[in-house]
């Protein structure tokens, strides 16, 4: 490489998921040769996001506001609370149009080996909401993986103290799959035929 700065850029692009040395080089040359405006905009927005995106005080999702737009909305059903593992899960559920309640984002799942317990998932905040808000049904939409199921089970027990129905989207989510990659109709079906945990 005839330029240390371009070499640094190629290395920097490799922090992106799924981007190896070859794709990173292609990205660097493409932006510098053909789309400097797009590159400038990406640099600016990325800087802005890193500095200003934090977590919603109510649902823990990523947002630049103190409280995210969904939590702040008056047009969402406050009696329904959907628990998901990540902000990407909210995106896919919103795209399905199957749900008009509010969310709670764990930002992960229980994983004792990684030191991720109830505190790391913000479950005290979830309990506080179950205690104070008019929530009637808690839909636990963690991933149908071993960790996601264990997390759902833990949340179900935790919710027993409150007068709330606990359900889990059932039909259509492939076992071992990841919510983030599902199509809207599968997810719609899963929400429609959710079943109450006993």
Binding partner of residue 58 among Zn ion, a copy of itself, none, CB cut-off 5 to 8 Å per kind:
Zn ion
Residue 68 or 141: the one with the smaller Cβ distance to Zn ion is: 68
Q: Is the dihedral of CA 82, 176, 156, 137 positive or negative?
A: positive
Per-position x/- string for 91-130, each x denoting binding to a copy of itself as judged by CB under 8 A, each - no binding:
x--x------------x-----------------------
Q: Which residue has the tokens 């292609």?
A: 26
59 interacts with Zn ion by CB under 5 A: yes
Residue 17 or 112: the one with the smaller Cβ distance to a copy of itself is: 17
> Which of 9-17, 116-124, 138-146, 165-173 is the region at the interface with a copy of itself (rule: CB under 8 A)?
9-17
CB proximity list for 136: less than 8 A, separation 6 or greater: 79, 80, 164, 165
Q: How many CA atoms lie within 13 A of 55 on its CB side?
A: 15
Rounded to whole angstroms, the Cα distance separating 93 from 100 reads 10
Binding partner of residue 17 among a copy of itself, Zn ion, none, CB cut-off 5 to 8 Å per kind:
a copy of itself
Among 77, 78, 88, 177, binds a copy of itself (CB under 8 A): 88
6 interacts with a copy of itself by CB under 8 A: yes
DSSP 14: T
58 interacts with Zn ion by CB under 5 A: yes
Long-range contacts of 77-80 (CB under 8 A, 24+ apart): 77/101, 77/102, 78/102, 78/133, 78/134, 78/135, 79/134, 79/135, 79/136, 79/137, 80/135, 80/136, 80/137, 80/139
Contacting residues toward a copy of itself, per CB under 8 A: 1-6, 8-9, 12-13, 15-18, 23, 25-33, 35-36, 38-50, 52-53, 56, 61-65, 68-71, 86-88, 90-91, 94, 107, 180
């Amino acid at each position: 490489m005839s330029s240390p700065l371009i070499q640094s850029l190629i290395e920097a692009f490799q922090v992106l998921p799924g981007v190896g040395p070859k794709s990173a080089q292609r990205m660097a040359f493409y932006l510098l040769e053909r789309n400097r405006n797009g590159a400038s905009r990406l640099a600016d927005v990325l800087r802005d996001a890193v500095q200003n995106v934090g977590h919603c005080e109510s649902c823990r999702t990523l947002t630049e506001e103190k409280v995210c737009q969904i939590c702040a909305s008056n047009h969402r059903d406050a009696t329904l609370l959907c628990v998901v593992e990540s902000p990407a899960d909210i995106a896919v559920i919103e795209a399905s149009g199957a749900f008009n309640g509010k969310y709670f984002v764990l930002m992960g799942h229980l994983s004792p080996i990684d030191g991720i317990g109830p505190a790391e998932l913000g479950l005290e905040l979830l309990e506080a909401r179950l205690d104070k808000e008019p929530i009637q049904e808690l839909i636990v939409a963690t991933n149908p993986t071993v960790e996601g199921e264990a997390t759902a089970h833990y949340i179900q027990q935790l919710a027993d103290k409150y007068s709330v129905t606990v359900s889990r989207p059932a039909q259509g989510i492939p076992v071992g799959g990841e919510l983030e990659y599902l199509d809207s109709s599968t997810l719609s079906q899963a929400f429609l035929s959710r079943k109450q945990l006993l």
